[in-house]
Structure 1
Amino acid sequence: MFDPLEHPGIPVDHHGRHWHEFDVEPLDTRATDPFTLRRISVMAAVEANAEHFDRQFANRVQDADARRSVNRLGDATAARRRHIAAVRAPVRGAAEYAINRERAAFDTAGWAARNEREPDRSWAYRQRAWQHLERLRRSAESGDRAHLPWASQVADEVDGLWPPRTTAPPRSWTYSAPVTQPLSLLHDWMVHAGDRRAAGYRPEARGGGWEALVVHESASCYLYYAFMAEEDDPRLRPMWELHLQMQLAHLHAASDLLRRYSDRDSHEVIGEGLPEPVTLRTDRPLVWVHEPDRPKRNRKPPDSGPDVLELLTAQHARTSRLFSRAGSTGDGAHMAFGDLARLIAVHEIAEEQMIHPLVRRLRPDDQLADRLLDEERRISDALSDAVRAAAHGHLDDTVGGLRDMVTAHSRREEHDEFPRLRRSVPVQERREMGRAVRAAEAAAAADAGPRDPARAVAQAADRVRDALADLT
C-alpha cells in the first residue's frame, strides 16, 4: 500500500526548477493511445478544479501566513495545469472537440461508477455516464453525416450501447460533497471536471477546512500515482512521476497546516495509506449494456469508410483486448488466443504488403520500414512458439513475451510510421487501402475452419495474401 506521507516529494519552492526536464511535444490524437489522451484530459480538468479549491480555501483563511502558504499551493497547481495543457492533443475542429469531450466524460463517469463504494453515488455517476453516452451518440451521428470517417467509427462503437431499462436509484440520488474519503472525493472531482456545464463547480470544504485541504491533496496524489502506474507511453510517464513528487510536497504542506492549526495528524484524516490504484483501462464491465437485438438508430453511413491507418490502429486496440482475454483462465482463454493468433497474422501481412512498401517508396533512405519488418519477423517467430506452446497446454509460458513485443511494435508504428503516412498519403488513397484491408480481413474470417490455432493461422495468412494479391 502506497503511503504518500512517507515520501517528502519536491518542495513547493523548488517546483520552478524542474519544468524544463520534461518538455513534451503536443501529442498527435491519431497516433496516441486513447487512454493516454483521456488521462491527460482528466488530469487537466482535475487540476483546474484543484486550483479553484485552493483559491477559495485561501480566501477563507484568516491567518496571513497560512493564507500565503495555501496561495503558494494554488500557484504551483496552476503551473502543473498549464504544463499538462501544453501536451494535450490539438483539436482539429468543433466536431472532433465535441466527440473527444463527451467520450472522455463518458469514460470518466463510468470509471467513477464502477469504483464508487457508496450505492447512491454510484447510481448518480451511472446517470451522468448515460447522459454523456447520449450526447456522444448525437455528436458522432452529426460527424457521420458530415462524412468524417473517424466519426463513423465512433458511431459504430456506441450504436449498440444503451443504459439499462431500469434506472431507479437504490434509495435517493441526492448526494453531498465528500469530506474524508479520498477515493469518493476523487470521483466527485473527475465527474464534475468531465462535464463542461459544471465549469462553475465550487468545491465545498465542510467539517473544519484543514481536514478537507488534506483530503483534496491526498486525492490528487492518488490520481497521479494511479496514472503513473498505468501509463506506458515513455513520453508521459516521467511527467506523471514529476507531478506526483510535486503533489507529495503539497500533501506535506497541508499536513503541517493541519497539525499547526487543528492539532491533528493527517493519518487520522486519510488513514495509513492510499487504496490500490484503479485504472481507466480495465476489463471490468462498464456501466453500459450491449443489446445487439435492440433497434439501432437509423443513420445513413457515408460512402467512404475508415482509412487504412484507422483500421490498423483499431486492430492494435483489438489485439490488446484479446491478449487480456487470452491471459485469463478458463476455456475462453484458448478460444481468445486462437482469435488473437489469426488477427496478428492478418495484421502483419497487411502491413508487410501495403504499409511498409509505401513508407519505403516515400522515403527510400529511411530505415524505419526495415526495422519494423525485422520486428515483425521476430513477432512471427514468437507467435509460432506461442501456438506450439498452446497446443501442449503451456500458453502462459510464452504469451507474456509475445504481448510485450506486439505492444512495443504497435506503439512504434503509431508514433513513427502512421503519422508520416497520414501527412504524405492523400485521404482517398488511404481509404482505398482501407477497403482492401477490410476485404482481406473478411476473406480471412470466411470459413474460419478448425479451432486449432496453427492451422487457423496458416489458413488465414493464405487467404489474406491471395485477397491482397487480387486487390492490389
Structure 2
Amino acid sequence: MAFDPLQERGVPLDEQVRDWRELDVTPIDADRCDPYTRCRIITMNGIEVEAMMFSHHLARHCRDQEIRRQLARVRYIEAQQQKAVNWLLPGSASVLETTIAYEQVAVDLTAWVARMEPDAYLKQAYEFGVLEDFDHLYRYANLYEMIEHRKAEKIVDQLTEVMPGRPTCLHHRDPADNVREPYDRRRTEPLSRLHALTIMSAEQQTMNFYMNVGPMYMEPIARRLYQEIGLIEEEHVTHYESLVDPGESWWEMLLNHEYNECYLYHSFMETESDPKVKNIWELHLNMELEHLRLAAELFKRHDGRDPDQVLAPALPPPVTFEPNKGYVRDLLATQIDHTTLGTGYVREAHERFSKMQEAIMGGEKPPSEEVVDDNRAISGLEYRLEIEGPHPGGLQLRR
C-alpha cells in the first residue's frame, strides 16, 4: 500500500527533543559496514544541513515572530537529527576515506536519479554531472593510494567502478555556463522536484565538506586537489540549484523540503541493511511527518492552496543505492566530450570555455592531473578499479 506522509501522524514536536544519551549514537564499523549504508548516512547529512540552512534563510526573510519561533523549534530538531546522522560516521575513517565515500554517493545517487527522472532536460543535467563526479572519485582514489597506501576498493567494495570520467581539468567553465533552465513549477512532475532538491543538497554538502577539510592536509598535492575539486563542486551546486523554479514561494519551498525529507527517510528505512541505522531512519521519519504537517499548515495559510496541489498523492518508489556501472559506462561512451554553453550542452570547446581554461590553468598542469602523474611515478601505474571489462575509451585496467 502506498505511503502518503500527509495522511500520517508523527511524533508531536514537543516530544522530539533528545538528550545526550540518545544523541550518542554508535557509529558504523568502517571496515565491515555495507558501503551503501555509509552512502545513505552521507546523503541524509546533506539533506539535514540543507533543511537547517533553508529554515535560517526563511527566518531571515519573515517578519512574523510566531512563525520565526516555530521555525526555530523545528530547526533545533533538524539540528539534532543532523548530529545523530553525521555522527554515525566512524572516527576511525580518515578524511580521505570519507571523501571517497562522498564521491561514491555522488556517482550512484546521481546516476539513479538520472535513470528515474521523467523530464528529458533534467535527466541530461544529472547525466552531465555524474561523469564529472565519477572522475573526481578516480582522482581521489589515486591520492588515497599515494599518501595512505591503500586501495579505494576497500571503501567502494566493487559496487562502483573507479576509472577516468570526463577529465576534471575540463570541468572549469565560464560560471555563466553553469546556470541551467529551471523546471516549471506549474507543470513539472512532483518527482522532479524531489530529485532536484536531493541532488542539490547532496552536492552542496560535498562542496561544504571539501571547503572545510582541504586545508587540514599537510601534503601539498592533497591541499591543491581539494581546492580544485572544491571549486568544481561550487559549479555543480550552481548547476543543480538553477534547476529549481525560483517562482516557488517560501511556503512551497518549505513544503517541498519537508516532503523530501519524509521521502528519503522512508526510502532508506525500506532499503537499509543495518538494523541500528534503520531504527534511526524510522525515528527521523516519524519526526519529519510532524514537520511536514506544520509546513502544510503554513502553506495552506500563506499560499492559499492545498498541499495536494503540488505534492505527489503518495511517496514515489524508494530512492535506492545500487550499482550503476553499466549505465555510467554508456554515458562515458556517448557523453564524455560534452561541455555547457548557455543553458544547453555542446561537444566543441567554445570561446568562453577556452578563455576560462586559459585563466584557471595559468599555463600549468592542474592538481587533478598532477595527482595521477605523482601516483604513477610512485606506484608504477595510476589506480583504477574496473570490473566489467576495459574502459569505454580503451584505457588499460589497473587493480
TM-score under structure 1 length normalisation: 0.55
Aligned to 1:402: none
Query: Does 1:117 find its partner at 2:118?
Result: yes
Aligned 1:67-78 pairs, distance under 5 A: 67-78=68-79
Distance 1:224 1:267 in 2: 20
1:15 CA displacement: 0.6
Aligned to 2:197: 185
Distance 1:206 1:52 in 2: 19
* Counterpart residue identity of residue 30, structure 1: D
Aligned match for 2:249, one of 205, 208, 212? 208
Query: Does 1:176 find its partner at 2:177?
Result: no
CA contact (8 A) 2:266 2:318 kept: yes
Aligned to 1:46: 47
Q: 1:272 to 1:125 in 2, by over 3 A?
A: same
Q: Deviations over 1:148-200 (max 9, x none)?
A: 23337679974556469xxxxxxx97133785633433333334334444579
Aligned to 1:257: 298
Aligned to 1:438: none
Q: 1:108 to 1:300 in 2, by over 3 A?
A: farther
- Unpaired runs of at least 5, structure 2: 168-177, 209-229, 334-371, 388-399
CA contact (8 A) 2:35 2:155 kept: no
Q: Secondary structure at the match of 1:287?
A: helix
Q: 1:251 to 1:140 in 2, by over 3 A?
A: same
Aligned to 2:358: none
Q: Secondary structure at the match of 2:138?
A: helix
Aligned 1:307-386 pairs, distance under 5 A: none
* Counterpart residue identity of residue 41, structure 1: I
Q: 1:147 to 1:290 in 2, by over 3 A?
A: farther
Aligned to 1:30: 31
1:249 CA displacement: 0.4
Q: Secondary structure at the match of 1:150?
A: coil
Q: CA RMSD in A?
A: 3.9
* Counterpart residue identity of residue 174, structure 1: R
* Counterpart residue identity of residue 246, structure 1: M
Q: 1:250 to 1:277 in 2, by over 3 A?
A: same
Distance 2:264 2:12 in 1: 19
Aligned to 2:329: 288
- Unpaired runs of at least 5, structure 1: 165-171, 304-313, 319-472
Q: 1:154 to 1:76 in 2, by over 3 A?
A: closer
Higher relative contact order (CA 8 A, sep 6+): 2
CA contact (8 A) 1:95 1:143 kept: yes
Q: Deviations over 1:76-125 (max 9, x none)?
A: 11111011122112254343243233222222322332222222222222
Aligned 1:34-183 pairs, distance under 5 A: 34-90=35-91, 92-146=93-147, 148-151=149-152, 158=161, 162=165, 174-176=180-182, 181-183=193-195
CA contact (8 A) 1:162 1:288 kept: no
Q: Deviations over 1:214-240 (max 9, x none)?
A: 111101110101000000211111100
Structure 1 or 2, whichever has the larger Rg, is 1
CA contact (8 A) 2:28 2:88 kept: yes
Q: Deviations over 1:334-369 (max 9, x none)?
A: xxxxxxxxxxxxxxxxxxxxxxxxxxxxxxxxxxxx
Q: Percent identity?
A: 28
Distance 2:184 2:285 in 1: 23
Q: Secondary structure at the match of 1:185?
A: helix
Distance 1:140 1:16 in 2: 40
Q: Decide which structure has greater helix share.
A: 1
* Counterpart residue identity of residue 40, structure 2: R
Q: 1:161 to 1:57 in 2, by over 3 A?
A: same
Distance 2:65 2:152 in 1: 53
Aligned to 1:277: 318
CA contact (8 A) 2:25 2:84 kept: no
Q: Deviations over 1:375-399 (max 9, x none)?
A: xxxxxxxxxxxxxxxxxxxxxxxxx
Distance 1:85 1:108 in 2: 18
Q: 1:267 to 1:76 in 2, by over 3 A?
A: same
Q: 1:248 to 1:30 in 2, by over 3 A?
A: same
Q: Secondary structure at the match of 2:69?
A: helix
TM-score under structure 2 length normalisation: 0.64
* Counterpart residue identity of residue 252, structure 1: R
